[in-house]
Structure 1
Amino acid sequence: MGVNQDHLLATRLEVIRDQRGLSLDEVANLSGISRATLSRIERAKTSPTASTLGKLCSVYGVTMSSLMLALEADSARHLTFSEAQSWRDPESGFIRVALSPPAQNYRVEVMHGTLPKGADVGYAKPPIEGMEQHIIVLKGELQLTFDDQPYHVRAMDCVALKLHGASRFQNLGGVDAEYLVINSKP
């Protein structure tokens, strides 16, 4: 993520926290992320991992796409892949590209993910309880785990469910896995 995007994300996180009337200490207690780390993230001194963003999304009750709105262009009906904003997890190498035009008034969001071989990304809780999610693997294979239920997903397979607990994305295959995630907010 570029310096400008780091600052935009930092500002967005601070604004969301302020809108919810939460202190850094309260967010730390709710998320399990240290106050010091939260402060560094909000000051753009460090880039958050996918896991960290997942925890913050859960605390704030927003999807990753909603959180990333600050990084994306003004609302449009047509978004080309070359215009879509991407974000890279500094820890796992996971790359997320928002394919849906950024808009807060749509219930469905589509994103493209690339998970490098050997990478493992976990989320303790869903960003929004009961959110519907469909994952379609385009290339490679993934081991997906939702509420301790594993799914081995290969190219053109789909897993569809409503999110209620922990989830984990693992690439146990020999190539980078590419997939689509379609989220529908309740």
Structure 2
Amino acid sequence: MRQDAELLDTRLDTRLGTRLAELRAERGWSLGDLAERSGISRSTLSRAERAEISPTASTLNRLCAVYGRTMSRLLSEVEADDEPVPLLRAADQPVWADRASGFVRRSVSPPHPGLRGELVEGRLAAGADIAYDRPPVPGLEQHIWVLEGALEVTAGETAHRLETGDCLRLRVWGPTRFRCAGDAETRYALAVVLP
């Protein structure tokens, strides 16, 4: 079973790398152009496009900001079939993991043409701390509902501590940070609505 999961991760990394290369080519950018726009080194970009590495959540967020996409939209472009289905069974919901940071992301309700919202389940391992230097789309609306554990969300200069059952609503214009604020894993639902 573990080998199957690793094989699926490898396939997803390969499709993600291909899609990142396509997005760059569509704009006629060199790796240097993209490095300048994203603040990510050319070597890291090259290795991600060739699927030699799996990008971290922070790296993907920077690329999404450059390409004007949410992370869910980018991942749905490499995970989804040609036609989105209205009902996604739990077993069919795409899962992506940033193994380096201890972040697991389940796309419960992935982006869909004609809809502005999506629903994500996030899991942060104890001690996990993810910082995003900018939103993928300025003014992105987020509703963060903690299902289990404790979560600290910092938006700009303001830190919010959320306990089980708490919900934080905000529009994201600048840097954000998600930190597991307890001794155990934190699980939360994130509703994302495009402006």
For structure 2, the residue ranges without an aligned partner over 5 or more in a row are 1-7
> What pairs up with 1:173-184 in 2 under 5 angstroms?
173-184=182-193
**2:102 aligned partner:** 93
Query: What is the TM-score with the length of structure 2 in the denominator?
Result: 0.92
- Alignment of 1:40 with 2:51, yes or no, is no
- Tell me, yes or no, if the aligned pair for 1:79 and 1:101 is still in contact at 8 Å: no
Inter-partner Cα distance in structure 2 for 1:184 and 1:172 = 25
**1:28 aligned partner:** 35
Question: RMSD between aligned alpha carbons?
Answer: 1.2
Q: Per-residue CA shift, 1:44-87, capped at 9, x if unaligned? A: 00000001001111111100011001123440000011100100
The list of structure 1 runs, each at least 4 consecutive aligned residues, that deviate by more than 6 angstroms after superposition, is none
Aligned length: 186
Aligned-residue offset at 1:16 = 1.7
2:169 partner letter: A
**2:164 aligned partner:** 155
1:136 partner letter: W
- Tell me, yes or no, if the aligned pair for 1:78 and 1:101 is still in contact at 8 Å: no
* Closer/same/farther in 2, CA of residues 64 and 148 from structure 1, 3 Å limit: same
**2:79 aligned partner:** 71
> What pairs up with 1:86-125 in 2 under 5 angstroms?
86-125=95-134
Inter-partner Cα distance in structure 2 for 1:107 and 1:185 = 5
* Closer/same/farther in 2, CA of residues 28 and 101 from structure 1, 3 Å limit: closer
Inter-partner Cα distance in structure 2 for 1:162 and 1:20 = 28
Query: What is the TM-score with the length of structure 1 in the denominator?
Result: 0.96
1:55 partner letter: R
- Tell me, yes or no, if the aligned pair for 1:132 and 1:183 is still in contact at 8 Å: yes
Inter-partner Cα distance in structure 1 for 2:28 and 2:64 = 15
State percent identity of aligned pairs.
42
Structure richer in helix, relative to its length = 2
- Tell me, yes or no, if the aligned pair for 1:76 and 1:101 is still in contact at 8 Å: no
- Tell me, yes or no, if the aligned pair for 2:73 and 2:110 is still in contact at 8 Å: no
